[in-house]
A and B are shown apart, each in its own frame.
Chain A
Amino acid sequence: MAAPLTQEVLQSVVDHAMRDVMPRVGGITLLRGGSPPMGELYTVHTAFDGETPVNLSLCANAAAFTHLTQHMMGQEQIAPADLEDAAKEFFNVLCGHVAVELFHVTKVSYRFRIPRFSGGRQLPREQEWQFALNYSGDKDERIQIVQHTGASSDARNKTEI
């Protein structure tokens, strides 16, 4: 039987997907909690099309995205363009898992738009946040994933599926 999509359910789905996908794809084992990322930051975000509005933004420090990129490419030397490509692909896989798990819970199909990548902390105002999950890795990785209403500050031009 289908369940309504509450923020608690969504938070649980996102957390589960992060803990599943990040080690497998990004090679980073996550611990929940810790402070939000600081310093040199990057953000990927997307919007889901479904019954309930879902907008996810993932903001992480350079260490997180660098290690993720190195793991995905299987090499230490990476270029800035590699980091963006890896971040978007990782987020694509994460959001795919979120969408599938949302379907299992709610029996509603969710599709998402092609992830957009930005330098810096490109998040909407905290008043628009519905929840934020913070994670840390064992090599100084810091990640925050936020569910919010409306578009993030850089998500004005969206690419439909």
Chain B
Amino acid sequence: MMPKKVMIVDDSRMVHLEMLKLLEGSDYEVVSYCCDGESAIEAYRNTQPDVVTMDILMPGMDGLEAARAILDSDPNANIIVVSSLAYDDTIEEASQVGAKGFLYKPFDQETLLAALDKATGTAGAV
């Protein structure tokens, strides 16, 4: 089975490196990394990933705005919002934007994979 394609959007290279480590050997392959919202919108069009992990707090366009733009162009996009701030209103706003999940930093491999499975609709698949 082909691995599912993941696009990581985070201004921190550390998050990119961490996700690469956590996803090694899994059903997910990181195909794109962007460090800001503007380039994420462009990269999404070119890469067409199965799922996007989107940091909120980034210089310039924030992650929620970038998520909205991606979902405007592709309402079926699977976006997981990632943040160190786990406020109810942040989670609610992410949900209203159309995000399929929320990851609170720091996260472990199990939590990350569960969020990716849920966003791509493979959670619980036999």
Residue of B whose beta carbon sits closest to that of A88: B12
State the CA gap A88–B82 with chains docked (Å). 16
Decide yes or no whether A95 CB sits under 8 A from chain B. Answer: yes
Contact in complex: A109, B14 (CB < 8 Å): no
Interface residues of B (CB under 8 A from A): 11-15, 17-18, 21, 57-59, 62, 83-87, 89, 105-106
Inter-chain contacts of B17 with A (CB < 8 A): 72-74
Residues from 21 to 42 in A contacting B, C-beta threshold 8 Å: 21, 24-25
- State the interface size on chain A (CB cutoff 8 A): 24
B87 lies within 8 A of A114 (CB): no
Report the Cα distance A99→B87, complex, angstroms: 9
Please, could you name 20 A-B residue pairs with CB atoms under 8 Å apart, sorted by A?
A24-B106, A74-B17, A74-B21, A82-B13, A85-B12, A85-B14, A89-B12, A89-B14, A89-B15, A92-B84, A92-B105, A97-B84, A100-B85, A100-B86, A109-B87, A109-B89, A111-B85, A114-B57, A114-B58, A161-B57
B88 shortest CB reach to chain A, Å:
9
Residues of B within 8 A of A92 (CB): 12, 57, 84, 105
Q: Other than the known A21-B106, A72-B18, A109-B89, what 6 A-B pairs have Cβ atoms closer than 8 Å?
A: A72-B17, A85-B12, A89-B14, A93-B106, A114-B57, A161-B62
A85 in contact with B13 given A25-B106, A93-B106, A114-B59 (CB within 8 Å)? yes
* CB neighbours of A88 from chain B (8 A): 12
> Residues on A close to B: CB < 8 A?
21, 24-25, 72-74, 82, 85-86, 88-89, 92-93, 95-97, 99-100, 103, 109, 111, 114, 159, 161
- Give complex CA distance A93, B15 in Å: 11
Q: Residue of A at shortest CB range from B62? A: A161
Expressed in whole angstroms, the minimum distance between the Cβ of B96 and any Cβ of chain A is 17
Residues of chain B within 8 A (CB-CB) of A72 are 14, 17-18
Smallest Cβ distance from B38 to chain A, in angstroms? 15
Q: A97: which B residues are within 8 A, CB to CB?
A: 84
User: Quick one: which of A21, A82, A93, A103 has the most chain B CB within 10 A?
Assistant: A93
**A100 to B87 CA separation, bound complex (whole angstroms):** 7
Report the Cα distance A123→B102, complex, angstroms: 35
